[in-house]
Amino acid sequence: MRVDIISIFPEYFAPLDVSLIGKARQRGLLDVRLHQLRDWTHDVHRTVDDTPYGGGPGMVMKPEPWSEAIDAVAGSAPEPPRLVVPTPSGRPFTQEVALAYAAEPWLLFAPARYEGIDSRVMAEYGDRLRLDEVSIGDYVLAGGEAAVLVMVEAVARLLPGVLGNAGSVTDDSFAPGAMAGLLEGPVYTKPPVWRGHEVPPILLSGNHGAIARWRRDQALRRTVANRPELAARLDPGTLDKRDRQV
């Protein structure tokens, strides 16, 4: 997968050089290319923003640098990238969206600063680049760069070969499968007793069926406690009679 990111802060993406993503790039599983938006400005101040038409606070990112940058990166490629614009007013970025992105050969992220990008840019590229405006959550960030980091990590870990233990993907909280729709429950490792806290004995029992049952009970409890709206959506058919006792 190729990932292009256009930003006025390309240095923000240094974390993509390390850990899981860094290794995936070194192994050729992921091709991340960073671009400085200001390289497509033509004034001495390398201006990328201006005051909003209609008045109001803040500044809006000008359309010209973005269109020149997107054209330079995506060009007239026969198979153009999918354009992803992080915005608080976008549709929710979910594991389902991450899975859809992981199936794309090429993503182009356009993180904005200020009050956002002139909306004519989205109108210009909406169809040809299959524009997706997405939000990573209901909170206010200073810009879309942090959201791009979140999305690139969520997507890259789904790519074949990136995660060492393929099981990790299928065991995800939000991945399809036996734990589908449930939050992950508590996890433990050695030592068996730490500061007087014992590991739940069931986990040392070697009874894999009972362990799976216990883990599902714990996941269900945590989901009901922390995300009742997810618990409410669970398919009754997936809740066996013991689940209903939780």
Ligand X SMILES: Nc1ccccc1-c1cnco1
**Catalytic positions, written as ranges:** 88, 115, 157, 172
Residue 92 binds ligand X (CB under 6 A): no
Instruction: Output the smallest distance, CB 160 to ligand X, in A.
Output: 27
Nearer to ligand X by Cβ, of 59 and 224: the residue is: 59
SS3 86: strand
Q: H or E segment at 25?
A: helix 19-26
Beta bridge partners of 92: 135
Q: Which among 174, 162, 80 is positioned nearest to 124, based on CA atoms?
A: 80
Nearer to ligand X by Cβ, of 111 and 223: the residue is: 111
- The Cα 97–Cα 155 span in angstroms is 9
- The Cα 74–Cα 107 span in angstroms is 10
Nearer to ligand X by Cβ, of 140 and 187: the residue is: 140
- The Cα 99–Cα 212 span in angstroms is 26
Number of residues this chain uses to bind ligand X (CB under 6 A): 12
SS3 107: strand
Show the binding pattern over residues 104-143: x = contacts ligand X (CB under 6 A), - = does not. --------x----------------------xxx--xx-x
Nearer to ligand X by Cβ, of 15 and 137: the residue is: 137
Position among 7, 87, 218, 223 found at the interface with ligand X (CB under 6 A): 87
Binding site for ligand X (CB under 6 A): 86-88, 112, 135-137, 140-141, 143-144, 147
